[in-house]
Amino acid sequence: MNWDEAIQGLDERRKRALAGGGRSKIEKQHQNGKMTARERIEMLLDKDTFVEVDGFVESRIDDFDLDKRRVPGDGVVTGYGEIDGRVVFVSSEDFTVIGGTLGEYHSFKICRIQDMAMQMKAPLICINDSGGARIEEGISSLSGYSGMFLRHTQASGLIPQIAVILGPCSGGACYAPAICDFIFMVKDISKMFITGPNVVKTVINEEVSVEELGGAKVHAEKSGVSHFTYDTEGECLMGVRKLLSYLPSSNSEKPPLLNTRERQNRLSDVGKVLGFRSKAHKIKDIVPDNSRHAYDVKEVIDCIVDEGSFFEVQKEFAMNGVIGWGRMEGRVVGFVANQPNVMGGSLDYHVSDKIARFIRFCDCFNIPLITLVDVPAFLPGTAQEHNGIIRHGAKILYAYSEATVPKISLIMRKAYGGAYIAMNSKEMGADIVYAWPIAEIAVMGADGAVNIAFKRKIKAAENPEAMRQQCKAEYEERFLNPYVAAARGYVNEVIKPEETREALIKALHGLKNKKADQPRKKHGNIPL
């Protein structure tokens, strides 16, 4: 073969690979509101940075007429590129080729990219759009999933792993995204379910739509499987880019630092000159001093972080707790907060899982934690007990105790009982604990405590209600204030609300070089 023939053959093979499943199938993909595998990579990565790996790999199965549908690439595009100048590795399943089904060499390509990501200590992004295991390849297809699951587990805590569901993802295929750190989904496009809707109808004799079974809304609000939901694929891929701007490339690095300190100082100086009231002073307007009145804790977070920097995770699931990242003088910080607007901010079994997993992720990737506490209790009731609130609540205790990153707590109002302990209390390993002057730290609130501790005294009084109010005032003075905790060293400092941001920044600065040695062991056994 001469040079001209060889180059012509290469060009033809490249053309076949780029064409995917062909024009008609690409048009159908577009008609369904979906981009192709390559279009997604092009939008996700910095321009002209994508380098494809194993583009000519093909299935070796030639029966079931599979050879007629076979094209170079085997239904998945893999390689690496850059996001904001940092290297990432990516796989993108191609639904136009044999429905994006996973076979022996399809999985081989993904496993190779997983190995490369681990070796290079760079984030891994897997875009899922697949009909599942390729039936024609039998056990080889199932074995392919096994190899992927193993590598996702090995990479856990080493590099950030992000799954993007942009089409169907069913059966065993769901567990690759489930092992990843974060799952992105798009309304009306993304589908995740272990058992297909036709099987469900047969088993339970009930009409179930695909969306009801495993659409983006279900996994964002009910199951808690997904972490971010968007209206379009384009917005979703931009969301992935935004997420990575808060994360280090691996566990051996710290998160990216933005140089915002000078800008923040200039804005503060301008505000003083013009007489503007700073966000720090608005906290008292947001948080009522009556602990029975609710407020939105996300407004408090916005007053603390750099302007517009808070990025919430799982905002539609277990909304009695808020998790996410913000920046403080350009440094990334993880936030965990009770949400008084929902269930009074109490801890239930769902929010326990949500909080614990976020704590552990931040600890894996060197992200300091700030905990905003306003919690009345672990939610009582038979439903909670029967769904394992004891087991799930223990996950928060375990996650905070295990974490070695800087841990700072701010007790804003209520901090009662076991929930106070769980929310990063001092003896649980918090490095610094602040409290506002209105903070109430005790076994329980004044009303419940008085009814128990002073029951006989109130009953014997000539005016029981007056005695009850007197006992309540005595209890509040003696126990229900932050100065009692501060006197015992359980609170390091009582601060004014307007001092919060400055105090937290100083604490983060003082703890930035923290190193904590853990006992030697293979690993702990978190109560899953």
What residues are labeled active site? 171-172, 418-419
CA distances, 373 to each of 69, 134, 411 (Å): 58, 49, 5
Structure tokens at 72: 């170079």
Q: What are phi and psi of 207, to 5 degrees?
A: -70, 120
Contacts of 177 (CB under 8 A, 6+ apart): 126, 128, 163, 165, 169, 183, 192
Report the distance separating Cα 133 and Cα 113, nearest Å.
19
Contacts of 460 (CB under 8 A, 6+ apart): none
Contacts of 340 (CB under 8 A, 6+ apart): 294, 295, 297, 374, 413
Closest CA to 134 of 173, 185, 192, 92: 173
Rg of the chain in Å (alpha carbons):
27
Structure tokens at 310: 């808070």
Residues composing the chain? 528
Report the distance separating Cα 301 and Cα 337, nearest Å.
9
Q: H or E element: which one contains 337?
A: strand 331-338
Torsion, Cα of 196, 200, 201, 204 (10° steps) = 180
Angle at CA of residue 51, ends 50 and 54, nearest 5° = 135
Structure tokens at 412: 């804003």
Please say whether the beta carbons of 501 and 328 come within 8 A.
Answer: yes
Report the distance separating Cα 84 and Cα 87, nearest Å.
9
Report the distance separating Cα 190 and Cα 125, nearest Å.
16
Say if residue 288 is exposed, middle or buried (CB neighbours under 10 Å; 0-12, 13-18, 19+). Answer: middle
Closest CA to 130 of 187, 176, 199, 161: 176
Please say whether the beta carbons of 482 and 411 come within 8 A.
Answer: yes
Which residue's entry shows tokens 């996650």? 399
Report the distance separating Cα 425 and Cα 417, nearest Å.
11
Which residue's entry shows tokens 């074995």? 143
Please say whether the beta carbons of 326 and 306 come within 8 A.
Answer: yes
Q: Please, how many CA atoms are within 13 Å of residue 210, restricted to the half-sphere of its CB?
A: 11
Report the distance separating Cα 13 and Cα 483, nearest Å.
75
Paired with 414 in beta bridges are: 440
